[in-house]
Amino acid sequence: MAASDHPVLDYIDGNYQSYVEKLRELARQPSVSAQNLGLEETARLVKRMLEETGFHVELVPLSKGPPVVYAALPSKKKSSRTIVLYNHYDVQPPEPIELWKYPPFSATIEDGKIYARGVTDNKANIVSRMMIAKAFLETQGDVPCNIKWVIEGEEEIGSVHFPEFVSKYRDKLNGQAGIWEFGGLEANDVPAVTLGLKGMLYVEYKVQTAQKDAHSARAAIIPNPAWRLVKLLDTIVNGDGKILVEGWYDDIRELTRKSWTR
């Protein structure tokens, strides 16, 4: 990599390969939340790496599920603002294994690419942030703002127990800004960082017509809830795709012309 005139960037360029190896170490550790595989081990590994970077780290236990890794790195500047970072250390299951070119937790390198389950979602983000923090500490002796960092282990299964952390430890989430940066490559292979995402709403319908299961031979006298559900589903949207659920569009911010043209 070409040298820059900025010491932070110079440090990153000079230590790039060591962080590639850190990423490979993290990627080799299975952490499949859907299978409850390797989560405790991964949390401890992330904790160790953060401590080596210079963070104060704790594993926050929850009533169920794997621990949340919480890290803090205060700035020496008393007037510094606080940024809250979010990541997750769990990954999706690697199956079907036979479709992989290399074993999914081998972190094999070929043509400058690392092959591993979860290497981009979300372990590379974790290691790259460690690298940036370390670069500031080594070259500036300080970070430009206070950093709070939350890394959970159940994002890939819907953050099942994360609301408990949010409810119990709101003080750990106080800050002037929050970032979960991620992105990819545009069609012309230019890296892109996503600055915003749409939200998500959903509803759940339950239909019951009998108190217990019945033999299909009784279908003529016991209403089948599947057909009632079919009729219900047909009422959710109109012919133009507009959602008809009452209150669905309440409190949704409308897109401005500026947002449309970005």
Whole-angstrom distance, CA of residue 146 vs CA of residue 206:
46
Please tell me the least confidently modeled range out of 132-141, 208-217, 248-257.
248-257
Tokens of 42: 């991964």
Q: For residue 208, which phi and psi values (nearest 5 degrees)?
A: -140, 130
Domain range for residue 251? Answer: 216-260
Round the average pLDDT of the chain to a whole number and report it: 92
Using alpha carbons, list the distances in angstroms from residue 3 to 14, 17, 22, 139: 9, 15, 22, 15
157 and 255 belong to one structural domain: no
111 and 60 belong to one structural domain: yes
52 and 143 belong to one structural domain: yes
19 and 130 belong to one structural domain: yes
The answer as to whether 199 is a domain residue is no
What is the pLDDT, as a whole number, of residue 9?
A: 95
Whole-angstrom distance, CA of residue 36 vs CA of residue 32:
6
Query: What CATH number does the domain containing 68 carry?
Result: 3.40.630.10
Judged against a pLDDT cut of 70, whether residue 4 lies above it is answered with no
What is the pLDDT, as a whole number, of residue 168?
A: 97
The answer as to whether 202 is a domain residue is no
Please say whether the dihedral angle defined by the alpha carbons of residues 101, 104, 109 and 112, taken in this order, is positive or negative: positive
250 and 176 belong to one structural domain: no
Helix (H, G, I), strand (E, B) or coil at 192: strand
Residues 152-172: tens digit of each pLDDT: 999 999 999 999 999 999 999
Confidence of residue 94 (pLDDT cuts 50, 70, 90): very high
Total domains, the chain: 2
129 and 255 belong to one structural domain: no
Give the orientation angle of helix 124-140 with respect to helix 39-53, to 10 degrees.
Answer: 20
The answer as to whether 165 is a domain residue is yes
